[in-house]
Amino acid sequence: MPLTPLPEIMIELLVRNALAEDLGRAGDITTDAIIPVRQKWKGALVARQGGIVAGLDLARLAFRLIDSAIIFSAKKSDGDVLKPKDIIATIQGPARGIITAERVALNFLCHLSGIATATHNLVKAVKPHKARLCCTRKTTPGLRLIEKYAVRAGGGSNHRFGLDDAVLIKDNHIAAAGSVRDAVLRARASVGHLVKVELEVDTLDQLQEALDLPDNVSPDAVLLDNMPPAKLKKAVAMVKGRFTTEASGRVTLDTVKAIAASGVDVISVGWITHSAPILDIGLDEV
Amino acid sequence: MPLTPLPEIMIELLVRNALAEDLGRAGDITTDAIIPVRQKWKGALVARQGGIVAGLDLARLAFRLIDSAIIFSAKKSDGDVLKPKDIIATIQGPARGIITAERVALNFLCHLSGIATATHNLVKAVKPHKARLCCTRKTTPGLRLIEKYAVRAGGGSNHRFGLDDAVLIKDNHIAAAGSVRDAVLRARASVGHLVKVELEVDTLDQLQEALDLPDNVSPDAVLLDNMPPAKLKKAVAMVKGRFTTEASGRVTLDTVKAIAASGVDVISVGWITHSAPILDIGLDEV
Amino acid sequence: MPLTPLPEIMIELLVRNALAEDLGRAGDITTDAIIPVRQKWKGALVARQGGIVAGLDLARLAFRLIDSAIIFSAKKSDGDVLKPKDIIATIQGPARGIITAERVALNFLCHLSGIATATHNLVKAVKPHKARLCCTRKTTPGLRLIEKYAVRAGGGSNHRFGLDDAVLIKDNHIAAAGSVRDAVLRARASVGHLVKVELEVDTLDQLQEALDLPDNVSPDAVLLDNMPPAKLKKAVAMVKGRFTTEASGRVTLDTVKAIAASGVDVISVGWITHSAPILDIGLDEV
Amino acid sequence: MPLTPLPEIMIELLVRNALAEDLGRAGDITTDAIIPVRQKWKGALVARQGGIVAGLDLARLAFRLIDSAIIFSAKKSDGDVLKPKDIIATIQGPARGIITAERVALNFLCHLSGIATATHNLVKAVKPHKARLCCTRKTTPGLRLIEKYAVRAGGGSNHRFGLDDAVLIKDNHIAAAGSVRDAVLRARASVGHLVKVELEVDTLDQLQEALDLPDNVSPDAVLLDNMPPAKLKKAVAMVKGRFTTEASGRVTLDTVKAIAASGVDVISVGWITHSAPILDIGLDEV
Amino acid sequence: MPLTPLPEIMIELLVRNALAEDLGRAGDITTDAIIPVRQKWKGALVARQGGIVAGLDLARLAFRLIDSAIIFSAKKSDGDVLKPKDIIATIQGPARGIITAERVALNFLCHLSGIATATHNLVKAVKPHKARLCCTRKTTPGLRLIEKYAVRAGGGSNHRFGLDDAVLIKDNHIAAAGSVRDAVLRARASVGHLVKVELEVDTLDQLQEALDLPDNVSPDAVLLDNMPPAKLKKAVAMVKGRFTTEASGRVTLDTVKAIAASGVDVISVGWITHSAPILDIGLDEV
Amino acid sequence: MPLTPLPEIMIELLVRNALAEDLGRAGDITTDAIIPVRQKWKGALVARQGGIVAGLDLARLAFRLIDSAIIFSAKKSDGDVLKPKDIIATIQGPARGIITAERVALNFLCHLSGIATATHNLVKAVKPHKARLCCTRKTTPGLRLIEKYAVRAGGGSNHRFGLDDAVLIKDNHIAAAGSVRDAVLRARASVGHLVKVELEVDTLDQLQEALDLPDNVSPDAVLLDNMPPAKLKKAVAMVKGRFTTEASGRVTLDTVKAIAASGVDVISVGWITHSAPILDIGLDEV
């Protein structure tokens, strides 16, 4: 499936806030003091390392909001593979505006491309298997929607966007309800017909409890938490396709293949959003 | 110097936005469906790995804004060293509110503690030398003020907060001005008397140009960009204490000692804010 | 299932904006001119007609944000049945604040109680049948989250909260995809594993196309659009419980019983949010 | 008098908020998954029932803010009479954007046209008489300015926009002041010379109190609350044109003619803003 | 009439914005570096010159929003006369918070007290005459509501709060309408029954045109623009109390008595809001 | 140095808020009622007195945000000298929009030009001497960034923009630290290497304490508070160019020359931002 860009109305405020944060109360005092107002500049956003690009619309918007005379010509699209030295976009126009907006544009682009790249590396590793790679709610506060977008750019899939768009029953919920069964039943009774219910289980006994529920109230998915591949395999065998199966916990580039080989449908990973290093991208004069 | 907490008025909006992002349009539908409204819960924020804690006020605020009846008792202060299993804070009160606010509180706390820890590790490595460890403007969009705070919590120092609070003359500025001398003179003439001027130099020739300027207009600091330790040492010798010297580029835990040994005053590092992995902290029932 | 109140953080801005809209740039000039500052007042929110109450937290907040000395004592809870003359809450404290906040408090309370009441009337009519009564995205701009809450207060269930929390494939989508099958497949491939897919069908042929899809990609629900009860019954029989069935269109207090008798799981109604008259509630001195 | 459109700056935030509310954190996932990015679409906003249109600028803005390539050609103006099947506007351009913005555009248009239509029906009924039909402060929280605009579109007139733009003395104020006379005097003394003072009276005795005040301090208008037509007629006769007379309470399409025949200048009605059903308008492919 | 304080909800955002503007991205770095966190401080807001105080609630809020442990005890109320050295309020509590909030608190207090004082001086000068002293829309952008409040604190009265709460017909309007008569008739036909209409006239001929209008459509007030006292007197004689008369233009402490002596009802002055110097108030340790 | 305009992104919200404040909930009811929608108008912003213009971009934006069809042609640039009757800009286009936006545009332009003019008059008086004229943090709440810009337009220089961009040690800080020496050392230890430290001294003894500090920790600047010219001269002689010297207190057009003659580097003045009267500018039809 091709990647759909986020409507500008969904990202504009993030870019405005980032620019405001950088401009402060006096703007770019260095550039204003030194660069003549009519000077032109031409440059390119260049990958300093290989990876996946994401966030081009945010970068473009950073330049445009500083000076609408800046021409931003994308040579790549979000989700594209970058080799080192690849040109991502060319930028030309008033020198002042380009230099002033540079850091904010790069901060978005490098952060989101870092997430897309980390996601992509896991997705590639999983390739021979059917498992989809998926993010969590462990995102940078305030940036969830663009970080989840970057996960999609990297070929990943999205878990819940918040506490409100799906049910995820965890240990505290089960404890409060008294049993897996009661927790699931309470959830089903409470939410609308377009809300999925996922159940996190730590043991195969808990999984069996879920499987014992009648079809019309059973969970749509089970999250198999922190299970080693062999146990995951057993779980998948027990489920027999009745629920979507999701593996979570201790997923790294080293472990992900074995996890995928267990036959789970989804592998969710927190660190692709909370701990992915940036992808190094620079702005060079051309 | 002890770390000063940020006034609540400076962080409240960030926490409100993060909660709104997670609550969406229906709130925590899982918890609301399953956990009884009067149920109490008691837990602790526990370090899953060693490091430096930062962001306690943001975590506390996340719980309080969801339910003011939640009691958050900090056992550590921002900047404190954590060993694995250390209790950072205890939290007790209405179960629903605690579970609903948990992820947002942890997202702030783990992210900022990750930055503080990365900073601290570099600071320790530099210890025998006088160099201060310092961040850059390569921060997560919208979170600069709390990320710079986390750097301070880790024992680091802050570079510019934005484009407006100090002059930093880079290659494009020098090129536009025609010479180091003219770039510095234009900056001095333009900004107020409480604004420092730093000059980024790539070569020792450029550094000499700066040294040739009369004292009353010369830069306050020079950023020695991407120079190996030997060259840095030469630069420090040339400067003879007339300017603050700052080294930047390719700073890692491996290289930082040698860089510091060159005698520079400041070492600035982008990755402590843009690529530090989170510090793993969890909320456990107690 | 008991009704869960919305966290204050989700409704505070709505109440603040409504108060700001009413206070304008000079506040309550009538009350300020005439009522002495120390005068006390005691009154009650009284139902002028029977129905279901919803919005008490918004009303309470309106009074508190104007003057925290006002004591608001709820005698009913959201979702409770009201008979004419029932006291919903008593309010006492500074006369000025109570009179100033009255209209905003009532505007929220009457509007939301109107929605809850309209919902409840349909829910009651449907009672002997299993069908759940559900709202749509036809809500008042800006008030969706509280209007959907009012539907829950009235015993109804919620459909999608926005374009992003579930897939709903309509005629334009099917036309663009070329077939029901391709539309559903594209949706399944694109969205995460916690997103449900609903398909709107106008004919039983379209429904059959959906039934012909293999289980693992078939829609979770079908919206049977504008079908008379007899046709709905046929559709339900065809579906045999494989999908959730939803009836929509021309649902009134007169028609809803027959629709429910068709055996559908869900009946969705736009007018309970977009055209329900208010429930008349007044503030009387006591 | 021709209807004046609201400046875009006064409505833009309302439309942005409504779009944000509908797009959520992932946008229109159905359309993004199924409709090809280059597909065009052409349609028309069509009246499904007769009435008065209002809110075209808000609808236009909803489409434009989603995709500025969408061409919105209005065939009617706010305030125009619609017959069933009348085309209100044609819309063409990128299919995705049109389908994504459709619901928000319609939610504004149907809601405001409903208010305009309800107003217009009362205005027509009152026609042979001089009375102006007027709204109240019983409006949907946050939408007052556009609802009052819709009343004007329906041929109605506006009462106070808030607590601050005119004085309206009610029973609580009179009670606090001790007499009609003192209440009016306090108000006059307190407010600026461009603020009108209206007095609500329940009885003809109270009206007489007002008439006994000297001209230079007497109210500008009296609100005759809940009086039957015969009593209204008496009141109008007593006032002899000294004040504007306003009738309020129990105004329906059935009663409004008789009320108007009493000779009052203004008839105010709450339900045209708080309880008018929407006017049904749809978006059809053409 | 006693002065009514503005509800906190109307001023809170102004104070928050002013604090945010001053705290920037790092807070009060001087105080945080030097003042120990537990140090207490006690001081007083002291008048350095005589005048009228206004803005105490804004000052109080500035301290409270920085640290709710600060105790602010007002010794004066808004509108009170200050002699040099008068104590306006005492402030005690954590030294850091007091010193951090000081400048924002004083900026509000000195600015608003300056306006109140300028107003009061004119009001005193006018005393023997009936004329009320009144402000205009020439206010500092964003501060209109508190500046108009300060005018009331100084004993003045308020003109329009914006373009929307009363009609003021000026030369351009008359020119566009073709005549005074048509301009007034268009306005009357367009606006609601609680909106006053004022007409600005430059000549007595224009005034006569207004007087020739029948009572039920004539303006409520006339603004006699830039007329010398003798001409104002003639105008007042012509009007014979039919309209409120307002003088405007070239009003100073020297001219205001003569203007008032002409018998006008209202004298409006722009400079009390746009050009009043601050009242000097300081924060002294006690 | 030429004056650099503020990026539109830094001023847009200020202009939007000011327009919203003036338009209120109904817009310009006078103009809407009287001026035909197609009527054109042509006018000019004309100086009614001599001075320095500042704020043209804010005025232009006010017109454009009301109606983008309005053509604003600047004939002067910010910082230019105005003689009485000079045309600053011509404005043509739809009459309604121009008249509606006029007051907001003028409120910004007159206020900022007043500050620029006051600044310029002091700058001219100081001319023969080297001292730079500089503002303070005594600014109108919420307008600091544009008021500091106006100071630059008048030829002045800027002091701190907030509490966070430089250290300014005052008497309370010295008292808390116990000595000048300790206060300066604490500040130096706490802040980053691009933050300047200024010390306010009341006496020459305090100044000597600062001079006794070693070069690498001594303040960058000293603020000589409220010292008469002779004492300033002594202070300057003591400092011998080691620190920037700033004089503050009792600076008027009468005293500023003598202060400058003392040889100080900077003279800071609060009243140019907090008490400068507006520069009178009007909009005339042409």
Write the pLDDT tens digit of every residue in F179-205.
999 999 999 999 999 999 999 999 999
Structure tokens at B9: 């008025």
Confidence at C261, pLDDT banded by 50, 70, 90: very high
- Say yes or no for a CB contact (<8 Å) between B26 and C145: yes
Packing angle, helices D95-126 and D8-23, rounded to 10: 120
Query: Are the beta carbons of E20 and E62 closer than 8 angstroms?
Result: no
Residues of A in contact with C193 (CB under 8 A): 132, 134, 157, 159, 196, 221, 244, 246, 265-266
What per-residue confidence (pLDDT) applies to E50? Answer: 98
Could you count the other beta carbons within 10 Å of the beta carbon of residue B203? 13
With pLDDT > 90 as the criterion, what percentage of chain F qualifies? 98
Facing residues of D222 across strands?
D199, D245
- Say yes or no for a CB contact (<8 Å) between C192 and A246: no
Q: Is the dihedral of CA B171, B172, B175, B181 positive or negative?
A: negative
Burial class (CB in 10 A: 0-12, 13-18, 19+), B182: middle
- pLDDT one-digit tens code per residue, A209-252: 999 999 888 999 999 999 999 999 999 999 999 999 999 999 99
Q: Is the pLDDT of residue D262 over 90?
A: yes
- Say yes or no for a CB contact (<8 Å) between F141 and E29: no
- Say yes or no for a CB contact (<8 Å) between A161 and D24: yes
* C60 contacts: CB under 8 Å, gap ≥ 6: C72, C74, C89, C105
| DSSP E strand boundaries for chain C | 40-47, 51-52, 71-74, 81-82, 87-94, 132-134, 167-169, 197-201, 221-225, 244-248, 266-268, 281-285
Of E28, E200, E209, E265, the catalytic one is E200
This prediction has a pTM of: 0.97
What per-residue confidence (pLDDT) applies to C216? Answer: 85
Q: How far apart are CA C162 and CA C149, in angstroms?
A: 14
Q: Looking at this protein, which amino acid is placed at residue C173?
A: H
| Three-state secondary-structure class, residue F208 | helix
- pLDDT one-digit tens code per residue, C4-20: 999 999 999 999 999 99
Residue of A nearest to C220 (CA): A194
- Say yes or no for a CB contact (<8 Å) between B192 and F164: no
Residues of D in contact with A135 (CB under 8 A): none
- pLDDT one-digit tens code per residue, D219-245: 999 999 999 999 999 999 999 999 999
Give the mean pLDDT of C194-218. Answer: 95
- Say yes or no for a CB contact (<8 Å) between A266 and C198: no
Single out the residue of E266, B193, D58 nearest to residue F221, CA to CA. B193
Confidence at F63, pLDDT banded by 50, 70, 90: very high
Residues of B in contact with D25 (CB under 8 A): 21, 24
Q: Looking at this protein, which amino acid is placed at residue D94?
A: P
What per-residue confidence (pLDDT) applies to F215? Answer: 87
Identify the residue among E25, E35, E65, E99 best suited for mutation to test binding to B, counting B beta carbons within 10 A and taking the highest.
E25
| DSSP E strand boundaries for chain F | 40-47, 51-52, 71-74, 81-82, 87-94, 132-134, 167-169, 197-201, 221-225, 244-248, 266-268, 281-285
Burial class (CB in 10 A: 0-12, 13-18, 19+), B75: middle
Which stretch of DSSP H or E encloses residue E51?
strand E51-52
What count of Cα atoms within 13 Å lies in the side-chain half-sphere of residue D12?
A: 10
Terminal C-alpha separation, chain A: 35
Looking up tokens 């300790």, which residue turns up?
F182
Q: How far apart are CA E138 and CA F281, in angstroms?
A: 12
Confidence at C215, pLDDT banded by 50, 70, 90: confident
Facing residues of E284 across strands?
E44
What per-residue confidence (pLDDT) applies to B215? Answer: 87
Q: Is the dihedral of CA C106, C109, C112, C116 positive or negative?
A: negative
Instruction: Report phi then psi at E88, rounded to 5.
Output: -90, -40
Residues A205-209: contacts with CB within 8 Å, 24+ apart? Answer: A206/A174, A206/A180, A207/A235, A207/A238, A207/A239, A208/A238, A209/A179, A209/A180, A209/A181
Confidence at C208, pLDDT banded by 50, 70, 90: very high
Q: How far apart are CA A104 and CA C32, in angstroms?
A: 49
Give the mean pLDDT of A152-160. Answer: 97
Single out the residue of A261, A271, A265, A270 nearest to residue A247, CA to CA. A265
Q: How far apart are CA F180 and CA B73, in angstroms?
A: 38
Task: Give the DSSP letter of residue B274.
Answer: H
Burial class (CB in 10 A: 0-12, 13-18, 19+), C254: exposed
Task: Give the DSSP letter of residue A263.
Answer: T
Instruction: Report phi then psi at F182, rounded to 5.
Output: -70, -35
From first to last of its 286 residues, chain B has per-residue pLDDT tens of 579 999 999 999 999 999 999 999 999 999 999 999 999 999 999 999 999 999 999 999 999 999 999 999 999 999 999 999 999 999 999 999 999 999 999 999 999 999 999 999 999 999 999 999 999 999 999 999 999 999 999 999 999 999 999 999 999 999 999 999 999 999 999 999 999 999 999 999 999 999 999 988 899 999 999 999 999 999 999 999 999 999 999 999 999 999 999 999 999 999 999 999 999 999 999 9
Question: What CA dihedral angle connects F197, F202, F203 and F207, to 10 degrees?
Answer: 0
Single out the residue of A232, A240, A238, A216 nearest to residue A264, CA to CA. A232
* Strands lying side by side in the sheet with D71-74: D71-74, D87-94, D40-47, D281-285
Give the mean pLDDT of F150-161. Answer: 97
- Say yes or no for a CB contact (<8 Å) between B26 and C161: yes
Which stretch of DSSP H or E encloses residue F182?
helix F180-190
Terminal C-alpha separation, chain B: 35
CATH superfamily of domain region C124-274: Aldolase class I (3.20.20.70)
Q: Which residues of E touch D (CB under 8 A)?
A: 1, 132, 134, 157-161, 164-166, 168, 186, 189-196, 198, 216, 220-221, 241, 244, 246, 265-266
What per-residue confidence (pLDDT) applies to F115? Answer: 98
What per-residue confidence (pLDDT) applies to E216? Answer: 84
Residue of C nearest to A131 (CA): C193
CATH superfamily of domain region C8-116+277-285: Quinolinate phosphoribosyl transferase, N-terminal domain (3.90.1170.20)
Q: How far apart are CA D239 and CA D245, in angstroms?
A: 8
Give the mean pLDDT of D3-20. Answer: 96
Chains contacting chain A through 3 or more C-beta pairs under 8 A:
B, C, D, E, F
What per-residue confidence (pLDDT) applies to A216? Answer: 84
Burial class (CB in 10 A: 0-12, 13-18, 19+), A265: buried
* CA distances to A36, A72, C28, F139 from A91, in Å: 18, 5, 54, 39
Give the mean pLDDT of D106-114. Answer: 98
Looking up tokens 């005040």, which residue turns up?
D213
What per-residue confidence (pLDDT) applies to B1? Answer: 54
Q: How far apart are CA B98 and CA B77, in angstroms?
A: 21
Query: Are the beta carbons of B23 and A164 closer than 8 angstroms?
Result: yes
* CA distances to C20, C244, D141 from C14, in Å: 10, 34, 8
Catalytic residues of D: 103, 138, 170, 200, 225
Burial class (CB in 10 A: 0-12, 13-18, 19+), C154: buried
Confidence at D216, pLDDT banded by 50, 70, 90: confident
Q: How far apart are CA B106 and CA B112, in angstroms?
A: 10
Which stretch of DSSP H or E encloses residue A114?
helix A95-126
Task: Give the DSSP letter of residue B231.
Answer: H
Domain boundaries, chain F: 8-116+277-285, 124-274
What per-residue confidence (pLDDT) applies to A1? Answer: 54
Q: How far apart are CA B227 and CA B224, in angstroms?
A: 6
Give the mean pLDDT of C166-191. Answer: 95
Average pLDDT, chain F: 97
Confidence at C213, pLDDT banded by 50, 70, 90: very high
pLDDT along chain E (286 residues), means of 10: 88 98 97 95 98 98 98 98 98 97 98 98 96 97 98 97 97 94 96 97 96 93 97 98 96 96 98 98 95
Confidence at D259, pLDDT banded by 50, 70, 90: very high
Q: Is the pLDDT of residue C84 over 80?
A: yes
Q: How far apart are CA E99 and CA B10, in angstroms?
A: 17
Q: Is the pLDDT of residue C1 over 80?
A: no
Facing residues of D225 across strands?
D248
Q: How far apart are CA A134 and CA A111, in angstroms?
A: 18
Query: Are the beta carbons of E70 and E101 closer than 8 angstroms?
Result: yes
Looking up tokens 């053509």, which residue turns up?
F71
Single out the residue of C125, C155, C154 nearest to residue C51, CA to CA. C154
Could you count the other beta carbons within 10 Å of the beta carbon of residue F127? 11
Query: Are the beta carbons of B261 and B129 closer than 8 angstroms?
Result: yes
